[in-house]
Structure 1
Amino acid sequence: MSCPPEISVALCTYNGARFLREQVRSICLQTLPPIEIVLSDDASRDGSVAVVRVTVAECAAERPGPPIALRVFENPVALRVVKNFEQAISACTGDLIALSDQDDVWVPDRLERMVAPFVQDENLWLLHTDARLVDSQGRDLGNTLFHALEVTPSEIERIHTGRAFDVFLRRNLVTGATTVFRRGLLADALPLPVEWVHDEWLGIVASATSRVDLLEEPLIEYRQHESNQIGARRDSFKEKVRKALASRGNTHVERAIKAELLLERLLQLGDRVPPEIIDKVRSKIVHQRFRAALPASRLARCVPVLREAMTGRYDKFGRGVRGVVRDLFESV
């Protein structure tokens, strides 16, 4: 029987000392432990790095087997989220890379359960999962990440059947804290563009060239607290209405820029990206440029928005009717 793939953990920290001991212990005491933790600390001032060092040493004394290597990068000036993760994943040496936030908790067999699909399918490039939402004290909030994101059965079925790119071109469902991917993805994904969040970029690039899948089980406790840079909470109906009427700002301009950056990267990958994928990204750019150029007058938007809706692009590249309503009623 062949050995299981070696796993690296890319752990990024920024003033997360109060949660780090619990998170690092959940990593080190996995039923299938990683070979290394690559820590990239973004100019913390609360002793985060020291907490990680002490906890890794503590776990080494508790568990049998070879010690988990700890490699540390301490940034004197903060790189911020995307480039901090880029530094961590670039330094990983394992066959698989698991992303880790500083404040979550992994279930004990998380890595074992996530490695198995990679062993079974060499075309699987990235795998993500659901998560159980907990508060700052680790108390169950009675909800999951997929519920907060309003993930639909149709989206899950599309991802399971090899159509993740179509899903991710509409919206990102990959949450970094739940993600494991093959290190080979870095050849396509690096450098990470700062216009994209690291997890959504890794997910969509992987889905353009190979297979991405998800596990519907919550394999981490995803902590929600006041310091979350990116949290997970399902909007109420009132909040959805408020957003529909709010100013669009630069949202669609920024989405067009992101799509243009994606197209540029995929074209660099040559014939590894199917032509139909390229065509879909080009169509996404057309749609986002259309939305960015809508007039200020709500009345003047009616005809062009309805014409755009007839093309099907609101369904292909956004939230369908929700996007139409927003474009008709939002302020500028």
Structure 2
Amino acid sequence: MAAVSVALCTRNGARYLPAQVQSICTQDPLPREIVLSDDGSSDDSVAVVRQAMAACGVASSVALTVFENKPALGVTRNFEQAIRACRHELIALSDQDDVWHPGRLARMAARFEAQPELLLLHTDARLVDGALRPLGDTLFHALEVQPAELEAIAQGRAFDVFLRRNLVTGATTMFRRSLLASALPFSDEWVHDEWLAALAAATGRMDVLPEALIDYRQHGSNQIGAKRPTVADKLAKAMEARGSKHMQRWRRAQALLDRLLALRGLVPEPIVSAQRGKVAHQRFRAELPASRLARLLPVLREAASGRYERFGRGKQAIAQDLLERG
């Protein structure tokens, strides 16, 4: 089975790190190394990781590489630093506050061994509170993941799903180091896990295990968390001010297209063409007028073209563009 590196990123996570490190260091097989990148912690996060590894008795068998960033790099650059330093074929991403289930590494590494073309694999997660008490929900349920989306990914059409939205959460992700040839450097416009997923879906095979293989803590201070939105939440979101989010989405779409064009020969032309369509759709949404009334006909024409359904959340996105305050 291929050797695994763990990219563990921390920032003031001393409270949660003992449980996470123990869950990593009791996997069978063990990872070969942990690359710890600490982003300017003011607590003793790095010392806690060292102590937890020593307590597990793996300090001599699992290599530890440590980066301590002062000043902090931010989430994406912190993960990029850790990932660049990983030396083994498979790289598992790790947040500081989760807990891996027994057998997680073996289950995921086996899928890579069975599918040599596989570049990235992600899974579901069980949502728990700060004390690891189950919240009675899963990550995929909170994200409203649909069976048709999982089926499309399983059939090798992950990029079609990605054109509409990202389903990959870094804490659940493992990928092949060869993916970095196309993914590095990470885009300034993207979060690291979404960027890796986009490049995996565009340049090769991405897959999903619809099993909860980690406990994903929701404790109020997550940098990125998960909560299933209610109808009231969706309505409130649709009614909020347009702000700069559509411009940001347009820039993200363009940044991905630029990378795909730079990778010509590795990316099938239909994927490049589809991303061009995504850029055009995001530009359309970004340039909609401030007046709700003036938006009505353009939005209805775009809806009739099918582009809201292909490149976004369909009716939900249409409602947003019609209702948002200018």
Q: Distance in 2 between matches of 1:15 and 1:279?
A: 43
Query: CA offsets, 1:261-316, max 9 Å, x none?
Result: 10111111111101110111111111011111111111111111010111111001
Question: What is residue 6 of structure 1 aligned with on the other side?
Answer: 3
Question: What is residue 317 of structure 2 aligned with on the other side?
Answer: 323
Question: What is residue 157 of structure 1 aligned with on the other side?
Answer: 151
CA contact (8 A) 1:287 1:313 kept: yes
Q: Distance in 2 between matches of 1:278 and 1:323?
A: 23
The answer as to 2:49 corresponding to 1:52 is yes
Return the letter of the residue paired with 1:269. L
Return the letter of the residue paired with 1:45. S
Query: CA offsets, 1:126-169, max 9 Å, x none?
Result: 00000000000000000000000000011111011001111112
Gaps of 5+ in 2: none
Name the SS of the counterpart of 2:265 in structure 1.
helix
Q: Distance in 2 between matches of 1:257 and 1:27?
A: 37
Question: What is residue 205 of structure 2 aligned with on the other side?
Answer: 211
Question: What is residue 246 of structure 2 aligned with on the other side?
Answer: 252
Name the SS of the counterpart of 2:57 in structure 1.
helix
Q: Distance in 2 between matches of 1:111 and 1:61?
A: 16
Question: What is residue 165 of structure 2 aligned with on the other side?
Answer: 171
Q: Which segment is superposed worse, 294-303 or 93-102?
A: 294-303
Aligned pair partner of 1:148 in 142, 145, 149: 142
How far the C-alpha of 1:194 sits from its partner, in A, is: 2.3
Q: Distance in 2 between matches of 1:83 and 1:303?
A: 42
Q: After TM superposition, which residue ranges in structure 1, 4 or more long, deviate above 6 angstroms? A: none
TM-score of the aligned structures, taking structure 1 as reference length: 0.97
Question: What is residue 36 of structure 1 aligned with on the other side?
Answer: 33
The answer as to 2:301 corresponding to 1:304 is no
Name the SS of the counterpart of 1:272 in structure 2.
coil
Quote the sequence identity (%): 61
Query: CA offsets, 1:98-149, max 9 Å, x none?
Result: 0000000000100000011100111110000000000000000000000000
Name the SS of the counterpart of 1:17 in structure 2.
coil
Name the SS of the counterpart of 2:125 in structure 1.
strand
How far the C-alpha of 1:248 sits from its partner, in A, is: 1.6
Alignment of 1:89-168 (within 5 A): 89-168=83-162
Question: What is residue 263 of structure 2 aligned with on the other side?
Answer: 269
Q: Distance in 1 between matches of 2:201 and 2:32?
A: 27
TM-score of the aligned structures, taking structure 2 as reference length: 0.99
Gaps of 5+ in 1: none
